[in-house]
Homo-oligomer: A and B are copies of this chain.
């Protein structure tokens, strides 16, 4: 990247349903922004690492008002990122500051308002990339779901789907720290081995396990007190068949249901009656509701401490160069990522 040219990733087509393709995006070069273009209280931001997350798929649909803001055709796509300040007209930021943007553009340099960014909190043993890794939105999502909404109690059993993913690997480890029995589910034998290496008491490969219900019963003969759901559909149904009294089902994602081309294709969940019979709670949430709360400060403090002490690890899949970022999004839906996906600028 020359200092006078930048790369931008633009949305070229809305994709209301079904698979998105590389050609639904456009990668263009543009002149780099210059200091004299800055208005008051603005900065030139140079991202260092971009976060890659499944919910970016929803944002290209052009039709999900409210859940998260839609990307606009012709505009850069965006997501959580960490970067440095190249130039600033704000008294709050200096050249070289390490900053976070909750929804920063996929451009190698761009002008943004100072009010949209915040300084990365100084944490011992934390790298810039950790702000889109172990301390990023998916980890915070895991923290809120697994330690607050799920009301975990030591000795309970938690079942986690997509357990080796960005959210799942943190759910597994935070649950172990709290004394739960953890059953992890992932889509390859490598991932299953990884889950055991980070403390899962049992783990299985959903692609080769055969009947989901039988696989869950074998891995959790004592039943499920908490199901942390990243996938929805058939696996959610099988989990519901195995819940204990007063179970908590935390609905964090539904990756099996995002790409369907029509509502009719959605999987019909038959065991929802168990929510009644087992006096259970099913809770959906979105992490942005928790951004500006004290819960986030607690998360950063606790998780960076556990990470620095080596009590939790965090697996990343890192793509190199913003021009490869779109492929990194698409790979999420093929299960090609292992752990949290990020793009290095």
Contact = CB atoms under 8 A, between A and B. Distances in A.
A276 B289 contact: no
Which range holds the interface residue count of chain A? 35 or more
B279 A282 contact: no
B232 A251 contact: no
Interface string A258-282: 0000011011111111111111111
Interface in A277-322: 277-286, 289
Contacts of A67: 277
B270 A254 contact: no
A133 interface: no
B236 A252 contact: no
A275 B263 contact: no
B236 A272 contact: yes
B284 A277 contact: yes
A253 interface: yes
Contact of A281 (B236, B266, B283, B289): B283
A210 interface: no
Name the residue among A232, A252, A254, A282 with the largest chain B CB count within 10 angstroms. A282
A100 B343 CA distance: 67
A279 B286 contact: yes
Name the residue among A253, A267, A273, A281 with the largest chain B CB count within 10 angstroms. A273
A179 to B, nearest CB: 25
A57 to B, nearest CB: 13
A272 B232 contact: yes
Contacts of A271: 266
Contact of A285 (B252, B254, B270, B279): B279
A281 B269 CA distance: 16
Name the residue among A269, A271, A285 with the largest chain B CB count within 10 angstroms. A269
Interface in A64-117: 64, 66-67
Interface in A121-172: none
A118 interface: no
A252 B276 contact: yes
Interface of A: 64, 66-67, 232, 236, 245, 251-254, 257, 263-264, 266-286, 289
